[in-house]
Structure formats: structure tokens, C-alpha cells
Amino acid sequence: MEGQRYHLNLQFFAGEKTEPATPHKKQEARKKGQVSKSSEISQSILLLTGALFLYVVGPGLFDAFLRVFSDTYVLIPGMTVDLDHLPTIFAAAFHPFSFYLALFLVIFWVVAALSQVLQVGVLFSTEPLKPKFERINPVQGLKRIFSWRALVELVKSLLKLILIGLALFLLLKGEWPRLSALFGLPLGGVTTYMGSLVVRLVLVIGLLSVIIALIDTLYQRFDYARQLRMSKQEVKDEWKKTEGDPLIKSQQRKRRRELAHARMMHHLPEADVVITNPTHVAVALKYDMHFDEAPRVVAKGEGYIALKIRELSKQYNIPLVENPPLARSLFQMVPLGEPIPPSLFRAVAEVLAFVYRKKRPVA
């Protein structure tokens, strides 16, 4: 057995999703409504909001309850309770609570919306609303039921049930002597105590939900990153799609260079002088004192392009001036089509003065 070799085709692992999602993949997933969020965050915030709401409006709710009790007590004895009078009875019973109910709904709607915005930002996507065959496919449904995510959700629900049940048991256990003494208290005392107890219960549940929500948020981020993982081939394909195929990009760069070279040669006849290195670099300058604040570079190049510029300069009778330091400075410092910097004004002015003197007709 020693010395035996096992040949393994590495292409077998080419489809494994081992690479983290690229920014482009995350952006595409967000457009489809796939984001990392925890429903526990919203639930815990709503529970804490409910506790705060009950604490603030508790006295008003107690007064509304007393009005309902008194109004109903006065209304019902003098009225026949039948189908014709039921709307009147219900209106009298729920009217005092209408303001608090409307306020409760508005606050909870705003808080629920803000809890989503805090997690994922402002996001509008119709992709989750589109019908998909996978949602009614029984095979896919069974896979979701017996998936790892379903198991995690089950464990999370059991953990919530155990923790919240234990906390409520300990809280009610400490309150049991007071609960036993409620039978001897007046209605106002019973209502005040029960309201305070309900607020404390909701507050405890909310705080426990916050702890569970923080843990769930970490898990949701991990699971979201796991779901968006990509294979090495997918990363390569996406790079080619977004950045472009290297061969195509090289062809595009070559085409852009050719177009730039053609435009440059088109403007070369406008030049007043060509400064050379003398054979490696050539820079063509144009100066129109009526429009230009300083001479501009209309063409430049090195190697073959410099040779081409010199040839065309002779064809168009453009003066050639050998000045290696100035030619190198102009080539390195001045972009095509831009005016020369002030540091080169004097050297270029001497060259242009020399050219203009040669062009001036002899008297």
C-alpha cells in the first residue's frame, strides 16, 4: 500500500462556495430584498415601547375603564339588550378607549418602521412579492422544514420560551403575597397594582428579548454571509462581467490609444514648433496670443510616435528645435492639450522667439 498515489480531480471542488460575497453580489442581493435583519430586534423594541406606553398612559386608561364601567352600568338597565341596541352599547363601551387605541396603533406603526430602517436602511423591493414556484413546491417546503435554519429557529424559540417563562415565574413568585391580598383592596387599588404589575412584566420580557435579539443579530449576519458565499469560479465570472474581460479591455485600451493618436496627429499641423530630444521625444507646441494665456501642447510622444511627429512636422513645414532638457520636461510635466506651467515660460519663450525670428522675412 505504501507508495500508492490517489489521483484527485481538483475540479470536483470548483463549485464549493468558499469565498465571501463581493460588494456587487451584496448589492444585487439587497436589490432583491435579501438583507441581514433580525425579527427579534423589532419584537424587543415593540415590547419596550408597549411597556413605556402603558406606563405613560396608564392613569388615562384607568379613568377610561371607570367611565366605561359607569356608563355601561347606567345604560344597560334602562335598555333592552337586543341586536338593535348592541351597536349603541358597544359604542358607549369602546368610545373612551378610541383615542388610546389610535395613539397605540400610530406609535407602534412608526416604531416598527423605524426598527426596520435602523437594521437595513431605506429599502423598497418588489422582488419578495413576486410569485415563485419554490414556495409551493412540496419538496422545497420539506427542505426548508428540515433545514439547519429551521433547527436554529426552533432552538431560539425554545430558548425564548424557557428564559421568559423562568423570568415571569420568579417575578410572580415574589409578588404572590400581594396578589393574595388583592381581594381585600378597593377597585382603584387593585387596578393600580395590576397595571404596575403588567408594565413590569412587559418590561422584563422586553429586556430579555433585547438580549436574545442581540444574539440573534450576530447569528443572522453570520447566516447571511454564509448564504451569499461564492465559488471561485463565480468570483471570476463576476469580475469579468463587472470589470470586463482582460482581452476585451486591452482591445478597448488599444482602440482608445489609436483614437487619441489620430486626434493628436489631426491637430499637429496647428503647431508652431516641435521640440525634440532629438530622437526619443518630440513635443509640439502651439501659441495663439489672442486666445491662449500660454503655449499649449498639441502633440507629444516618444519612440515611434516621436519619429512620426518629426516626419509630419517636416511635411507640414513646422520648425524642429533640438532641446533635450526642455523636451523631456514638457513631455513629463504637461498633459496633452494643456498649457505649459509657469516654470517653463522662459525656456519656451526663447524657443518661440528663435522660431519667429527665422520665419520673419529678411528686409
pLDDT digits (tens, 9 = 90+) for 143-179: 666 677 778 778 888 888 888 888 888 888 877 777 7
Q: What is the mean pLDDT of residues 61-71?
A: 67
Q: What is the mean pLDDT of residues 78-99?
A: 63
What share of the chain has pLDDT > 70, as a percent?
73
What confidence tens digit (pLDDT) does each residue in 340-354 have?
Answer: 998 888 888 888 888
Query: Whose CA is closest to 25, among 187, 238, 195?
Result: 238
Question: Could you tell me the domains of the chain?
Answer: 20-238 (no CATH), 260-359 (3.40.1690.10)
Helix 86-120, helix 39-75: angle, nearest 10? 160
Region of 3 (left: φ > 0; alpha: ψ -120 to 50; beta: rest) is: left
Picking from 86-90, 107-111, 114-118, 266-270, which range would have the lowest pLDDT averaged per residue?
Answer: 86-90
What amino acid is encoded at 115 in this protein? S
The three cell numbers locating residue 300: 507629444
Q: Which pLDDT score, from 0 to 100, does residue 221 have?
A: 85
| Whether 335 contacts 299, CB under 8 Å | no
| Whether 104 contacts 51, CB under 8 Å | no
Q: What is the mean pLDDT of residues 26-54?
A: 79
Answer whether the bond into residue 278 is a cis peptide, omega within 30°. yes
Q: What is the pTM of this model?
A: 0.51
Say yes or no to pLDDT of 85 above 50: yes
DSSP assigned state of 122? S
Say yes or no to pLDDT of 323 above 80: yes
The secondary element (H helix, E strand) that includes residue 300 is strand 296-302
Helix 324-333, helix 345-359: angle, nearest 10? 120
For residue 154, what are the CA distances in angstroms to 57, 150, 161, 344?
36, 6, 11, 77
Q: What is the mean pLDDT of residues 315-331?
A: 89
Say yes or no to pLDDT of 40 above 70: yes
